[in-house]
Amino acid sequence: MFDHNQPVHPLGTRARVLLTSVFGPYARDDEYGSRKINPMELYENQVTRVQGGFSLRMFHRSFGPMMIQANLEAPCTLMDFPTLDVFTEEIRHHTYDIVGISAILPNVGKVKKMCELIRQHQPNATIVIGGHITNKEGLDQIINADLIVRGEGIRWFQRYLGQDDKAPIKHPVSVSGFGGRIMGMNLGKRQGGTAAILIPSVGCPIGCNFCSTSALFGGKGKFINFYETGDELFEVMCEIENKLKVRSFFVLDENFLLHKKRALRLLELMEANNKSWAIFVFASAKVVQSYTIDQLVRLGIGWVWMGLEGESSVYDKLKGVDTRALVKLLQSHGIRVLGSSIIGLEDHRPENMDAIIEYAISHETVFHQFMLYLPIPGTPLYEKHTQEGTLLSESEFSYANAHGQYRFNYRHPYIKDGQEEQYLLDAFLRDFKVNGPSLLRLIRALLNGWQTHKDHPSARVRNRFAWETYPVRSTYAGAVWAMRKWYRKDKPLQEKADRLLKDIYATFGWKTRLISPLIGSFIYFTLKKEEERRLSAGWTYEPSCFYEKNPEAQMLEEAGTAKHRVEAQKIHPTIAETAQTLD
């Protein structure tokens, strides 16, 4: 059905569409808004930021444009992570009727530049802007675009092209990350080695006041399900499993377990069809606690990204939950936790900052994200600061710096003069110093899961823990051996690595004991090389560019190639034809 208040492109599904992310490089300071402190790497940017050679280096695709492309009947080309030169060449040499750009607020300078280039090289193209950047008020005064689309883009684009916006959502088939690297070693591209991406829903009904994702999709109480039932989700997962040969799924959903009926139906289907899948989710603490540990284990939950926020936070999702006890319980069952804490809540002051950081790291989560309490346009927190007149102007604080890893974009009542920058860094450093590399913690949690569930009554569950823990017998044991050697001058962390290595040996026996020093020596060498050569020289990591066409775009390209061959033949006759003419 059409929304008659929405524009419809006159060419409909004959329109040629280009969807693109903003151009790179990203991990550098430039005039377009790139910042060295804000690379295109989730973990290096916000989680393992100070862990050096132990930091998990990995990129993630722009999944929004991928979802849109998978559901368009018009010829659609997708560019992900192009350079400025690559983007410019594309619009110079290929004609498009619609160019869609997806971006976040810090990229406003890049979007502005891309719009200028599109106007120069494709003056007849309609420019559509989507993503978190659309929460910015007055965006249409900053960039030269035709349409700014806030919210869910799949159905909008279908209506815009005259398609049926009630058709079932087609899910793209893709792994969740690429370019994985840690301790100086590339993680490889083994089929099935990286979890597939799965996007059941967007938005979050809990609607925390700082959450830009919740705001983008309607705010508190609002969400959009692409797949309403466990049956629908199971069918999609089976299709992805068959095509990618994966057994794990990274679920990009703000609070996947909140939809309990869907989750438990998925569990029923997994059990009925003997699926030993591992599922990695985002979920709030109160929601996680509403499941039994047995349900979580049988559902295959192997990783949870969970907001801890802060001891004094007033969010409903944390009320009545002992988050430290919950994390300890989850990790004892092999469920790795990425805890997320906020620096700069309303009651945070210089005098209590040490205690705030100590509370956060006392959770001993496998990973820990620290972010500044930042009011992002569109959120209730932003509206609050707007009304109070505490927001900094663009001349005082650039949009390019509004990424949560630098400074506040407002006047905090107690934290002044950029102190938050050091507090944030202190939190990362303290977590790393006390709890050690996240990889060490991850291996401990995996071993916990095997020790707890190797004799689980369900063969399906035993199988999952067996394949998830398999690297601990060899590669991961070698990594622990290397970490123990690396920390020979840091007694607490050396002892932590030593205890873990002894537990691994006791669990897996003489083969692991024999092979770990051999693997460990190599990993130690690559780690040393990474630290001393790459990182000390200021090496930065950039994603490769993806260039993908849907079937309709491929057909259009093939038709154009065939037409070009026919025209070329007319202009340049073959040798045989020339000979006949001469005769």
Residue 579 has pLDDT above 50, yes or no: no
What confidence tens digit (pLDDT) does each residue in 304-361 have? 999 998 777 778 888 889 999 999 999 999 999 999 999 999 999 999 999 999 999 9
The pLDDT of residue 571 is 58
- What separation in angstroms does the CA of 500 have from each of 28, 324, 476? 38, 21, 11
The pLDDT of residue 578 is 44
What confidence tens digit (pLDDT) does each residue in 506-549 have? 999 999 999 999 999 999 999 999 999 999 999 999 999 999 99
DSSP tag of 315: -
Residue 583 has pLDDT above 50, yes or no: no
What confidence tens digit (pLDDT) does each residue in 412-468 have? 999 999 999 999 999 999 999 999 999 999 999 999 999 999 999 999 999 999 999
Residue 574 has pLDDT above 80, yes or no: no
The pLDDT of residue 581 is 47
Residue 575 has pLDDT above 70, yes or no: no
Burial 394-431 (b: 16+ CB within 10 A, else e): eeebbbbbbbbbbbbbbebeebeeebbbebbebbbebb
Total-model pTM: 0.93
Q: In whole angstroms, what separates CA 535 from the centre of its chain?
A: 23
Query: Comparing 5 with 536, which gets the higher pLDDT?
Result: 536
Choose the weakest-confidence range: 37-46, 363-372, 572-581: 572-581
**H helices within 341-390, ranges in order?**
353-361, 380-388
Beta carbons of 60 and 42 less than 8 angstroms apart: yes
Q: Which of 252, 284, 75 is nearest to 161 (CA)?
A: 75
How far apart are alpha carbons 450 and 435 in whole angstroms?
21
Choose the weakest-confidence range: 129-138, 170-179, 214-223, 496-505: 214-223
For the chain, give the mean pLDDT: 93
How far apart are alpha carbons 350 and 414 in whole angstroms?
7
The pLDDT of residue 310 is 78
What confidence tens digit (pLDDT) does each residue in 266-281 have? 999 999 999 999 999 9
Query: The domain 12-43+58-170 is classified under which CATH number: 3.30.420.40, 3.40.50.2300, 3.30.2290.10, 3.40.50.280?
Result: 3.40.50.280
Query: Comparing 581 with 548, which gets the higher pLDDT?
Result: 548
The pLDDT of residue 2 is 41
* Local structure of 33: helix, strand or coil: coil
The pLDDT of residue 582 is 45
Q: Where are the domains of the chain?
A: 12-43+58-170, 446-528
Residue keyed to tokens 């790795």: 336
What number of other Cβ atoms are within 10 A of residue 580's Cβ? 10
Strand stretches in 211-343, DSSP E: 224-225, 248-251, 278-282, 301-309, 336-343
Residue 188: pLDDT band by 50, 70, 90 thresholds? confident
The pLDDT of residue 432 is 98
What confidence tens digit (pLDDT) does each residue in 20-60 have? 999 999 999 999 999 999 999 999 999 999 999 999 999 99
Could you write out the three-class secondary structure of 451-509? HHHCCCCCHHHHHHHHHHHHHHHCHHHHHHHHHHHHCCCCHHHHHHHHHHHHHHHHHHC
What confidence tens digit (pLDDT) does each residue in 101-124 have? 999 999 999 999 999 999 999 999
Nearest 5 degrees, angle CA 380-CA 4-CA 103? 45
Query: Mean pLDDT throughout 187-205?
Result: 90
The pLDDT of residue 564 is 57
The pLDDT of residue 315 is 82
Residue 569: pLDDT band by 50, 70, 90 thresholds? low
Q: Which of 435, 442, 417 is nearest to 358 (CA)?
A: 435
How far apart are alpha carbons 500 and 545 in whole angstroms?
39
- What separation in angstroms does the CA of 294 have from each of 120, 144, 288? 59, 54, 12
The pLDDT of residue 71 is 98
Residue 221: pLDDT band by 50, 70, 90 thresholds? confident
How far apart are alpha carbons 294 and 453 in whole angstroms?
11
Q: How far apart are the first and last CA of the chain?
A: 65
The pLDDT of residue 166 is 95
Please report how the helices 323-332 and 438-453 are oriented relative to each other, as an axis angle in degrees rounded to 10. Answer: 60
